[in-house]
Each structure stands twice: as structure tokens, then as C-alpha cells.
A and B are shown apart, each in its own frame.
Chain A
Amino acid sequence: GENVEQHPSTLSVQEGDSAVIKCTYSDSASNYFPWYKQELGKRPQLIIDIRSNVGEKKDQRIAVTLNKTAKHFSLHITETQPEDSAVYFCAAWNTGFQKLVFGTGTRLLVSP
């Protein structure tokens, strides 16, 4: 089945810095890659997603890049703010198994 690895597990940055979280997937049949943000005690919420026919997508301060050949995708947050502090999960939707497989999460801490 699909396996999604996510790094780093924790990331501490200063306010205003950029943050990058990386994920790799194993099955080339995966074609949809969402990123979820989960604040403490809250539910995961979609912040951005990308499909396999696109290499990059941007939404204000966040962007996601996808390299299908290398089977990896990344989340980029620029000009980080304290409210960006949360756990971020990447995921891959596998068309063969018809399921969304999540990475293990990255705890981002943005210090003022």
C-alpha cells in the first residue's frame, strides 16, 4: 500500500521566517496531495491541496510544490506568524486503494 513519510517532526522558526515541510510517497498511483493544519484540540482542516497534473500551487503565504518523478511534495509557508503554530499533516490519495494516507505530522512553532 501507500506509505507517506513526513519531515521534520518538529520545526521551530522565528516570526517572519519561512518554514518548509517535506513529504514523500511511495505509490505512483497517488494523484491528489492535500495539506491539513490542526491546531491544538481542534480538528484537521484543509489549507491547500495539489493534484498530480500541477507542479506548484500558491495561496497567499502558503505554497505547495510537487515533484512526481521523485515522488515528493512540500509545503512552504512564508512570513510566518505565531498563529501558524500548529501540527501540519501531508496526505496522498491513492487511486488504486481509494484511500487518503496521512503523514505523521510536523509540529510547527513560530516564536514572536
Chain B
Amino acid sequence: DAGVIQSPRHEVTEMGQEVTLRCKPISGHDYLFWYRQTMMRGLELLIYFNNNVPIDDSGMPEDRFSAKMPNASFSTLKIQPSEPRDSAVYFCASSLGGVSYNEQFFGPGTRLTVL
């Protein structure tokens, strides 16, 4: 398996522009997570899905952020409009759920720079 795939790996954009980050989870995994990592705030959970349904979006910082999972193999995280404080590394992770919690596998991340 190729693991969790994210694109793009790097994104540089100007303030006010729309940014879309993409994620393909590991085939068969039914949980998908979006994290943001910064030096100041560490690793923060933004939102997660179970069977394509958003379960908890309490970590989404504000209305400028939105996430979708139209099918089991694809998810997007959109920022519109982007701001310099959104600069961070965004990780997508997936896991196989069930009665017992299981390991989350992280993607390589997208490094976002908003100028």
C-alpha cells in the first residue's frame, strides 16, 4: 500500500487566496483526520471523519476552514480566504476503526505558506 497520500506537498500563496489541500487515505481505513502543526501550537486536530461523515469539527479554527469527504478515498481541506497565520504543516491521517482504537497513519504533510 502506498500509505496516506497528500497533495500538494508544498503550497505558497498570497493572503486572501483560496487554498485546497487533498488527501487519499489508506484503502479500507474508515477514519480520516486532519491535523495542523505549528511551532507555537504543536499538533492540533482540526476535524475527523468516520465513514465519510464529519464527526467532530470542534478544532476547525473558524469559518474560513472547511473540509469534505465525498467518498472513502478522498478528502479536502479548504481555506478561504487564507491568512498568514494559517501558515503551517497540515497532516492527514487515517486509521481502521472498530471496537478498539487503532494506529493512525500519517501522510507526508502539506507545508502551507501564506504571504
Q: A residues engaging B (CB < 8 A)?
A: 31-32, 34, 42-46, 49, 51, 89, 93, 95, 97-105
Interface range on chain B (Cβ under 8 Å from partner): 10 to 19
Q: B residues engaging A (CB < 8 A)?
A: 33, 42-43, 45, 48, 55-56, 91, 100-101, 103-104, 106-109
- Chain A, Cβ-Cβ closest to B106: A43
Question: Given known contacts A49-B103, A99-B56, what 19 new A-B pairs fall within 8 Å (CB)?
Answer: A34-B103, A34-B104, A42-B108, A43-B91, A43-B106, A89-B42, A93-B101, A97-B56, A98-B55, A98-B56, A99-B45, A100-B33, A100-B104, A102-B43, A102-B45, A103-B42, A104-B42, A105-B42, A105-B43
Across the interface, B101 reaches (CB within 8 A) one of A32, A43, A103, namely A32
Q: Which residues of B contact A103 (CB under 8 A)?
A: 42
Q: Which residues of A contact B42 (CB under 8 A)?
A: 89, 102-105
Q: Which residues of B contact A99 (CB under 8 A)?
A: 45, 48, 56
Chain A contact residues: over half helix, strand or loop, or mixed?
A: strand
Q: What's the least CB distance linking A6 to chain B, in Å?
A: 9
Q: Which residues of A contact B55 (CB under 8 A)?
A: 98
Q: Is the CB of A44 within 8 A of B103?
A: no
Q: Which residues of B contact A42 (CB under 8 A)?
A: 108
Q: Is the CB of B106 within 8 A of A44?
A: yes
Q: Is the CB of A43 within 8 A of B43?
A: no
Q: List 7 A-B contacts (CB under 8 A).
A: A31-B101, A43-B108, A46-B103, A49-B103, A97-B56, A100-B33, A104-B42
In the A-B complex, the 8 residue pairs with the closest CB atoms: A43-B106, A102-B43, A32-B101, A93-B101, A104-B42, A46-B103, A44-B106, A43-B108
